[in-house]
Structure 1
Amino acid sequence: MEGVNSVSFSRLFKIFVLWQAAILVVTIAAQYSSLPLRETYLGSGTQGYVEKPWLYSRQNFDGMHYTYIARRSYGYSQQAFFPLYPTIMRKLMTLPFLNNAVTAGILVSTAFFLAGLYLFVKLIRLDYSSDVVKWTILALLLFPVSFFFTSIYTEGLFFFLTVAAFYSARTRHWLLAGIFGALASYTRFIGIFLLPALFFEWWQQGRRFKHFLPLLLIPLGLGIYMIYLNRTTGDPLAFFHVQVNFAQLRSEKLILLYQVFWRYVKMLFTVNRADPLYLTIVLEFVSGIVFLVTTVYSFIKHRLSYSVFNFLAYLTPTLTGSFTSLPRYVLLCFPSFLLIGELLSRSPLARKIVLGTFALAFIIFLSLFARGYWVG
């Protein structure tokens, strides 16, 4: 990892390739495990999946919706999936050598996440030592569901846009920060939270009004999508109202965080422990605790802009009454991973425990996902 210390893209690329190789090895090995195949939400259907599980497993679950939108536009209840990611996929599919939606989606996610990692290294180095960089990157890549970054999900693209917006603001390129923020809010709803976060960054950097104006671009992405939804469905908030169709325990009513924790405590004692779903419930519950602690502690350790974004990105998904998909959502809470990196840089024992646990859980949950089980 010494190359990361000098922000070497070539060294970071090698680490990235090793991580991708690990994903391929685990995915292929999972096909020879005793874990039964669940066929309900397999990418490209059972036949296509069985022929190339190393490829089509990255399309499982939400990936099927993104490839559908890229090919045909929005179908029934697919308004939960914001447009920028499938739009980029569709543009790539016009290339004569890249007309496969799955390949296009993986390419988009992989390229943007790699770029996001490079910018993340540069962002961390504005304030922290190279040792913190090293352990933060390792913690992020070994996190149990980090494979979503290069699956057909928006995590890779959104990570890039978020880090790019923060890095642009930190280096006083306010117009770029506004543009990246607008694209982020056109990719995921939580992109809108870059506005309050970067407001505090602007406030700390001198409060010149002309620097704040570009940040008003950030809501533009969400606004454009809401106008589109109003025109096509009559409901500008359709992206929120259809969420109940995609996850159990979600509610359109506001549910407080302590109530969600209580729900999960009850599930830990009532759900069949022989069901692989139980492992996902445990991961969701533990993620809820760990990222609550790091979110609160971030207000003590980090810039206010980082902490505000981390808080809103963590809390918002829980308000629907469930930690469903929370392990995937918190991949975008980069200040929490920075805290973990700081801890690992100070404690060899923590490195062994945290990274060992992450690596084992990574193998387990990637295997489950590759075999068609819901993990986030």
Structure 2
Amino acid sequence: MSFPKILRLFLLWQLVIILITAAAFTLLPLRTTFIGGSDQASRVDPQPYIRNPLLYSRANFDGIHYVDVARKYGYAQQAFFPLYPRLINILSKYIHPPALAGILISLASFLVGLIYFARLIRLDYSPKVAFWTIVALLVFPTSFFISAVYTEGLFFLQVILAFYFARTGRWWAASIIGMSASYTRFAGVFLFPALILEWWHQRSHPESRKKPGISDLLCLAFIPLGLVIFMHYLYHTTGDLLAFIHVQKLFQQGRGDKIIMIYQVYWRYLKMIFTVNRSDPLYLTILLEFFSAILFTVTSVVSLIKQRASYSLFNVLNFITPTLSGTFTSVPRYVLLCFPSFLLFGQWLSLASGTYRRLYIAASLGLFILFLMLFVRGYWVA
């Protein structure tokens, strides 16, 4: 899949986001609780969002925290890993405001990530599968988070590069990228067991062009160092190595302190579906979380059967770990990094008839429009 084709898809995706965002300003009332731009507020400009909603609507909710952390960690913000806000801090010295710096980092990272994602897919599949996999990702109902002031764009690049370098025998590069991933999000540490499995696969399968050595395995130990460095910082600033976990309960997202199995979470959501006020916009988010969990439970199982073991392991860990806190909150966003699941969607779309493709894209785009409009107007989505 050529770069011009990827770039056209990327630019079309961004154009759609801008048009839908602009339409949302007239179609939905603004909920001002967690809208972006608060870091730029002043007595003469108390609500920067109102002045520039196309910019600051991409910095709602967690985006507010990332911009704050770019200056300094504040109360309960230890849940946000440091690499992305650190990059915002550096770039915002040249590009202002910080929200714009964050958006540019996300967009640039994701575009490069798409290029390498296509290359990763082409190691095993046709250009047609690569094309439809990228389409499936771009039209997914929550893909707009990738271009917001969130870590999704940067983390997508890191995950794809780590797997691509491992698949092509550049283990040191995979390790360094993996270390940066575990300094960006906790899920980055899942690259450690996944790439160990990839090393074993290449070591034990005769079709591998060059078998990796023991030194290649040992260098993977660098991957968790990003997390270790952050935990060391937390211990010296808060006295709690696991502050990034313990502060989660302060965000009132229904996360528990104990491990809760996924079937219990499903039961909890079934009760909410039948008891929560259906006129509340939050009800739509509950449905999105519930059905996203079902979809990626299924694709995780299929991945275990049909895909490389390293892909499947990362897919399962990235999906299942957030659910162990007792909620599917943010799962529709977290699954954007389940690239093996999107590869399954791409394989199916590449074989599907034109009618089924149009139905899939229309349904996914309809949900994309709905949840993007809610997000940019200050309603919680993921």
User: Any idea what SS the aligned residue of 1:43 has?
Assistant: coil
Indicate the residue corresponding to 1:44 in structure 2. 37
Aligned to 2:180: 183
Corresponding residue to 1:280 among 256, 264, 285: 285
1:63 aligns with 2:63: yes
Give 1:350 deviation, angstroms.
3.2
Letter in structure 1 aligned against 2:264? Q
Q: 2:126 aligns with which of 125, 129, 133?
A: 129
2:328 is the counterpart of 1:323: yes
Shift of 1:273: 1.0
- Give the aligned residue type for 1:360: G
Map 1:225-244 → 2, pairs under 5 A: 225-244=230-249
State the AA in 2 paired with 1:368: L
Q: Deviations over 1:59-96 (max 9, x none)?
A: 000000000111x210000000000000011111222x
User: Is the aligned partner of 1:139 residue 2:136?
Assistant: yes
Structure 1 segments unaligned to the other structure (5+ residues) = none
The aligned length equals 366
Q: Distance in 2 between matches of 1:279 and 1:159?
A: 26
Whole-Å Cα distance in 1 between the matches of residues 161 and 72 of structure 2? 28
- Aligned-pair RMSD on alpha carbons? 1.0
> 1:215 matched to which residue of 2?
220
Q: Deviations over 1:97-143 (max 9, x none)?
A: x1320110001101001111111000000001111111111110000
Q: Secondary structure at the match of 1:36?
A: coil
Indicate the residue corresponding to 1:295 in structure 2.
Answer: 300
Judge conservation of contact 1:195–1:218 (CA < 8 Å) in 2.
yes
2 CA distance for matches of 1:290 and 1:237?
A: 31
1:357 paired residue among 359, 363, 374? 363
What is the distance in 1 between the residues matched to 2:130 and 2:346?
Answer: 7
| Cα distance in structure 2, aligned partners of 1:187 and 1:255 | 25
Residues in 1 aligned to 2:26 and 2:299: alpha-carbon distance in whole angstroms: 37
Which range moved further: 44-53 or 274-283? 44-53
Distance between the aligned counterparts of 1:140 and 1:360, measured in 2? 14
- The sequence identity of aligned pairs, in percent, is 57
Preserved contact between residue 181 and residue 195 of structure 1 (Cα < 8 Å): yes
The one-letter code sitting in structure 2 at the alignment partner of 1:282 is L
Matches within 5 A, 1:45-124: 45=38, 47-70=47-70, 72-95=71-94, 98-124=95-121
TM-score when scaled to structure 2? 0.94
Q: Deviations over 1:311-348 (max 9, x none)?
A: 00000000000000000000000000000111111112
Residue 370 (structure 2) pairs with residue 370 (structure 1): no
8 Å contact kept, 1:145–1:362 = yes
**Matched-pair contact (CA < 8 Å) for 1:43–1:49:** yes
Q: Does 1:24 align with 2:18?
A: yes
Q: Partner residue of 2:155?
A: 158
**TM-score calculated relative to the size of structure 1:** 0.96
1: distance between equivalents of 2:5 and 2:162? 24
Contact 1:84–1:183 under 8 Å retained in 2: yes
Task: Supply the distance in 1 between the matched residues of 2:252 and 2:121 (Cα, whole angstroms).
Answer: 35
Gaps of 5+ in 2: 39-45, 204-211
Q: Which runs of 4+ in 1 moved over 4 A?
A: none
